[in-house]
Structure formats: C-alpha cells, structure tokens
Amino acid sequence: MTENCVISIDGMGGDAGCSMVVAGLERFASSRGGVRFLLHGDQTQLEAALRSAPKAREIVDIRHTEKFIAMDAKPAQAVRRGKGSSMWNAIEAVKTGEAAAAVSAGNTGVLMGMSSMILRTVSGVHRPALCASWPTPHGVCAVLDLGADITADAEQLVEFGIMGEAFARAVHQKENPSIGLLNIGSEDIKGSEVLKAAASLMKNCGHDVNYIGFVEGNDISAGVADVVVTDGFTGNIALKSAEGAAKLVGDLLKSSLKSSMWGMLGAMIARPALKRFQSRVDPRNVNGAVFLGLNGVVVKSHGGTDALGYEQALNVAAQMAASRFKEEVAANIERLGEAVKAASQNAEPDTTSTTEAAE
C-alpha cells in the first residue's frame, strides 16, 4: 500500500529533539516497510542518534541544516525568518514533489504558518483545517478544525466535512464515514445561523455525504459520528476541555489507589487490566494531527510525545500519502462549488417575472 513512498521529516522538532524522532523512526522501520524518509536537521546530531537505530538508518537520507525552529518561537517572526530551517526544508520537499508528506513535532503555530506559506491552500478550499483523531468506545473519530483559524462560515464548515470524510477514509479506514456538525443541541433550531446554513448546505453539497445532523459535545467521545465538524475556536476548546477532564479523572484514579494499602494491593493484582485501560486512553495512540486543505500533506506530532507516539504520527503520514485523499477532496470540493453556485443563482430574484408571480 505504501510502496516507494517518501516522507519528509523535521528531525529537530519536538521537546526532546532528534533523539525522540529517530527512536520513532526505528519503531516505524521495525513494523512497516515501503517508506523512505528525508530527515532534515543537524547531520552530526542525527548521525549520532541513528547509531542506536540501525533499522531507521537503512531507510533515511539525512538532509543537513544547522538552522531549526525553537519550540517557543513566535510564529509570525519564525515563519518570516524560517527559510532553510529543518522545518522549512521538510515542508519544501513536499512542494518540490520529492516527498509525499511532511511530519514535524515542532511549534504548532510556526508549522501551520510555514505550511500555508509554502504549500498554499488547495484550489477551491477557502481555508486549511487542523484535523485530529479522538478516542471513542469503538475506535476513533476525526475532529476538525482544531484551531487553524478561529471562525468558519457555512461553506467552509462543509469543506471541513468533505476533507474530514476523506481523512476518515484514508487514516481510519472507514468506508462511508458519518459526519456530524458540533452544536449545543441536536434539534434543527439550535445554534447560530452559520450552523443552520451549514446543515442545509451539508445536505445539498453535490455528493452523497453521510451527514447525520447536529451532534453535541458529549457525542464526540461517545463515537456518535465518524467525523465531527466545527470551527477552530470551538474545536480547540472542545479538545482541550476533554483532555483536561480525562487527565483529571486519570489523576484522581491514581491518587485514590495510592492513598491506601488495599488500593495499592488491588492495583497490583489488577495490573494487566489497568495496563489495558491505560493503553485505551493513551494519547500517544491517536498522535498525529493533519493540516488538511493544503497542496500537500503536513502532519503535526505532539511536541512532548515519545517514540511510540511519533511512530503513530509517521503512520498517519504514510496512510495519507498512500490514499486517494487529494483526488477525492478535489472532486467533492468541485461539486460543492457547483452546488453553492446553483443555490445562489436560484436565490437571485428574476426581476422580469418574480414580482408578477408573487402577486
């Protein structure tokens, strides 16, 4: 599936820098074939890290640069001055066609700005969106936008739906993903005018989309929809509020078990079960958010992840690269454009006859 695919990597991104990246590559190389990597960053540091990653060594080509983007860089400035950095070069390789996707664990704002500047938005899509996988009882769902922009109009929300649908097919292997619009109630009368317009357009977007209506915040984790669409402000708040709550519950469980001898003994006996639980709620398993809507795939890994999480981000990149995401989105965005045009033409008053007909 991923034969002869090349992925470009920002070797210096992430809190732990290149050692984490290379350890993730080593894991990937041990479990998956058919992919080669362009590894951008400081040659000396990368060579040193690769000494303990023999399988990764065989599938990477180092592309040296001394310049890299600091994790706490200010986006606007870093994007302007970032040319030649490991992040820039990783994205640039996608633009030139050398690589099918780029991966970075670096500063999110910079990666977003740099990707938009280098790759530009796909024709027909108004704005890119950040899409991530969200755990559910049965697997995962795709949620977007998670903060590429703070607002979105009705047409943009439907574009997010089209891209999310293709993402769920490519990365989550869902054949006919269901799409929900995030709102504060499932009834048609709920929410803003933008959401109502988006719901109407979702039903008439020119292709046979599996739109299931409005979904609420709790429906995301319940797995009610395969794709949940919202604007970047709301999506970011939803994701972080959920992460915060999950962390609180996990922390309280740990502290409760540790607060007594019986608790500790019970936890020891139930250890395999608790490990299974931990792996089900492990954020590393859903690492790898994708900027959708650009002329090329860019995957953002969590900056604080480890080799296991980074391997997952590489998997997402490989799946996106091997999929028909681009063609599918292009065709559906074109249909959406036609549908919007047709709707606006129908809405325009025909001055020669409307008045008479209304009388």
> Quick one: CA dihedral 23, 139, 131, 335, positive or negative?
positive
Binding residue for a copy of itself, selected from 150, 188, 324, 338, defined by CB under 8 A = 150
Using the rule CB under 8 A, give the single segment among 11-19, 162-170, 264-272, 293-301 that binds a copy of itself. 264-272
| Residue closer to a copy of itself (CB basis): 55 or 276 | 276
CA–CA separation, 177 vs 227, rounded Å? 7
Cβ pair 62, 39 in contact under 8 A = yes
Q: What number of other Cβ atoms are within 10 A of residue 119's Cβ?
A: 21
CA–CA separation, 217 and 234 (whole Å): 10
Stretch of 258-266, 322-330, 333-341, 347-355 lying at the interface with a copy of itself (CB under 8 A): 258-266
Per CB under 8 A, does 70 bind a copy of itself? Answer: no
Is 221 a binder of a copy of itself (CB under 8 A)?
yes
- Residue 240 in the binding site for a copy of itself (CB under 8 A): yes
Name the H helices within 9-142. 18-31, 43-50, 54-59, 75-80, 86-95, 108-119
Could you tell me which of 149, 135, 95, 98 has the C-alpha nearest to residue 294?
95
103 scored as a contact of a copy of itself (CB under 8 A): no
Taking a C-beta distance cutoff of 8 angstroms, is the pair 112, 130 a contact?
Answer: yes
Binding region for a copy of itself (CB under 8 A) out of 51-59, 79-87, 154-162, 240-248:
240-248
| Among 267, 308, 331, 340, contact with a copy of itself (rule: CB under 8 A) | 267
Binding status of residue 82 toward a copy of itself by CB under 8 A: no
- Give the three-state DSSP class for 228: strand
Size of the site for a copy of itself (CB under 8 A): 60
Site membership for a copy of itself, residue 147 (CB under 8 A): yes
Residues that bind a copy of itself (CB under 8 A): 135-137, 147, 150-151, 182, 184, 191-192, 216-222, 230, 232-234, 236-253, 256-257, 259-260, 262-274, 276-277, 280-281
